[in-house]
Amino acid sequence: MFVLIAFWTSYYGRLSAPMDFEVHFHGITMTLWSIMLIGQAFFIRFKKRKLHHFAGKLSYLLVPLIIISGFNIAHYTIQNVPVGHPARYYQAALMYNSIIAFAIIYGLAIYFRKNPKMHARYMICTILPLITPISDRIIYKYIPALVSYAPAADGIRMVPALGFLIGQIILISLIIWDWKKNKQFNAFFIVWIPLTIYHFSVLNFYRYPFWQKFTEWLMSLPLS
């Protein structure tokens, strides 16, 4: 629902309009991932184990495509920002590092695939690094008054920080719930580590010379 609301005017509502390959590639892969997560929840709920396992195997094909499309759309977007501008390095951390965090969490889900409860927790959390494309669009389009509450640095209004706050609230709530109900302090807390590092990187790395150099190296690659 939130995905449709966020991307209706910019993507789903104008599928017949001319759009670059990079936009469709990323849009299709992320739409398929959203459908897969919802489908997997239904398959587990209604004990459709064969369908669940089949969809899980399909993810081995889909996730590499998500990673490729993520790097592709990041390169495509960032190349339009001038070299040396803080927004170039901020967007690099926002887009590239979200894909890395997603890949780490998905990798943990696959590693624990024989432990259903752990596997499910990690799979649910794969959406957390990908919240900001949704939250940013909803805020800008429907709740613009919130933009002024986002932190600003070097002239950049960091609206994704509001999405990060949502992600942190969700994850910390899950950590507390899991501890109170199941006396477990593992999966959700482990996810909190790469997610928090990702959030820190977006809010801070754009100022660091090492990240600026790394970004320019990435942008020199033929990723789009």
Residue 59's nearest CA partner among 76, 43, 81 is: 43
How many beta carbons lie within 10 A of that of residue 139, not counting itself?
21
Q: Give 143's DSSP letter.
A: -
The percentage of the chain sitting over the pLDDT mark of 90, rounded to a whole number, equals 80
Pick out the chain residues at pLDDT < 70: 1
The answer to whether the CB of 129 falls within 8 A of the CB of 95 is no
**Which residues share a beta bridge with 157?**
152
Q: Give 5's DSSP letter.
A: H
Q: Of how many residues is the chain composed? A: 224
Res 110: pLDDT: 96
**What residues have CB less than 8 Å from 51, skipping those under 6 apart?**
39, 43
Q: Is the dihedral of CA 27, 33, 37, 40 positive or negative?
A: positive
Query: Alpha-carbon distance 66 to 16, whole Å?
Result: 22
DSSP alpha helix (H) spans, 21-148: 21-45, 49-78, 86-111, 116-125, 132-142
Burial code of 2-31, b = ≥16 C-beta within 10 A, e = fewer? ebeebbeeebeeeeeeeeeebbebbbebbe
Query: Alpha-carbon distance 93 to 202, whole Å?
Result: 5
Query: Alpha-carbon distance 23 to 4, whole Å?
Result: 16
Residue 150's nearest CA partner among 139, 137, 159 is: 159
Query: Alpha-carbon distance 70 to 106, whole Å?
Result: 15
Res 155: pLDDT: 80
Res 64: pLDDT: 98
Res 45: pLDDT: 87
Res 69: pLDDT: 97
Res 61: pLDDT: 97
Res 4: pLDDT: 81
Give the pair of three-digit tokens for residue 145.
């008054």
Give per-residue pLDDT as tens, 52-76. 999 999 999 999 999 999 999 999 9
